[in-house]
A and B are shown apart, each in its own frame.
Chain A
Amino acid sequence: NAGVTQTPKFQVLKTGQSMTLQCAQDMNHNSMYWYRQDPGMGLRLIYYSASEGTTDKGEVPNGYNVSRLNKREFSLRLESAAPSQTSVYFCASILDPTSYEQYFGPGTRLTVT
């Protein structure tokens, strides 16, 4: 039981490059989230998926797209990376939107130069 896994752990991109962050959970959770965390700050919601087949914008969706590939996997895509997207990205899952405990992946540390 791996919980929530994220790949890659570290990534350096040049401005304008694209990439996809992968996230998978093996807990049969219905809801999944993508957050970004800037140094010394809290977690800001980028996109979430309340259930398989649905996605919704969070607080800071601009510059990102997501795909809920199946119940297990939720990917985050940066189409044209910008230095302002330098951050740590966390994926999380929860049994359903009214549950009380989110499980987080280890994070992806992204630097855009």
Chain B
Amino acid sequence: GQSLEQPSEVTAVEGAIVQINCTYQTSGFYGLSWYQQHDGGAPTFLSYNALDGLEETGRFSSFLSRSDSYGYLLLQELQMKDSASYFCAFNAGKSTFGDGTTLTVKP
């Protein structure tokens, strides 16, 4: 099977940088995706890594190390609106999501 592990909660202050880690186990790797979900809303796609290294999309970046079965989402210049849950996920085939990390941004 496949599984993904993330910290359950992270707290940071406005303007800071926060890193949300994800370690995974899978027999076949096709890429790691990240999603954001605000309270009461649907998940929305943020970023994706198929190969090792850093992918940057505005204030959000995602990193992957396939040899370590590890990735992270980096959020810079945190804003209050970034308070949400963040999920790492495998999309391929039998899609699997981590349990999510709740990010609280404080003023």
Contacts and interface: CB of A to CB of B under 8 A. Distances in A.
A48 to B, nearest CB: 7
Contacts of B92: 97-98
A107 B41 CA distance: 8
Contacts of B97: 35, 42-45
Interface residues of B, number: 23
B95 interface: yes
Interface in B65-107: 87, 89, 91-100
A49 B35 CA distance: 21
Contacts of B50: 100
Contacts of A100: 31, 33, 45, 48, 50, 91
Centre residue among B42, B89, B97 by max chain A CB count within 10 A:
B42
